[in-house]
Amino acid sequence: MGRGFLNQMYTSYCDYEEAGLLVAEEDGKAIGFLAYSSNFSGLYKFMIKTRLIRFGWYSIGAFFRRPSAFMHIISAFLKPGEAKREEKYVELSSIGVDPNIKSKGIGSLLIDSLKRKVDFTKFAYINLETDAVDNEGAIHFYEKNGFVRERTFETDEGRKMYEYRFVGEK
């Protein structure tokens, strides 16, 4: 998707009041991040409303670099309709740690920080989706951090996915 597209997306997490970006730092340098939202549908609407032209510009570049990425982008922006559920929940959208620092607990610290931040009297759970194929490291990481597999599904593009949930104490 490219640096410009990702910059716009993560800036939206910072600007939208029902979303956030947690950052782990070492010596003033970002070494990890976690993006989340308690209103995923609203976040995507906010992104479209405030950054449509910029997302469009960066999507064109992604299309020419990798046409399959374009379909991924389109399906991501159609996700708000799928994100509606009866219960309120927090979506852990993405997490990343500097590859030179992996396996030192930074990702777990970020997840622990999110767990402390979520008011489980207002939100039923923390939800996340991850690839089910060739993703053993991430699957183990989420399960080690208390997430339980809720379901398996396939995207419109044919990707097999797992949905995980963490239910905190009320």
pLDDT digits (tens, 9 = 90+) for 16-35: 999 999 999 999 999 999 99
Whole-angstrom Cα distance, residue 12 to residue 43? 8
Output the six-digit token pair for 169: 């104490």
pLDDT band at 71 (very low <50, low <70, confident <90, very high): low
Top pLDDT among 120 and 84 is at 120
Q: What is the pLDDT of residue 70?
A: 53
Distance of CA 159 to the CA centre of its chain: 16
How many distinct structural domains can be found in the chain?
1
Q: 3-state DSSP call for residue 159?
A: coil
| Containing structural domain, residue 138 | 3-166
Look over the chain and give the mean of its residue pLDDT values, rounded to a whole number: 86
Please report which confidence band the pLDDT of residue 60 belongs to, taking 50, 70 and 90 as the band edges: low
pLDDT of residue 107: 97
DSSP label at 86?
S
pLDDT band at 3 (very low <50, low <70, confident <90, very high): confident
Residue 137, domain CATH: 3.40.630.30
Pairing of strands 126-131, 90-97: parallel
For residue 163, what pLDDT band results from cuts at 50, 70 and 90? very high
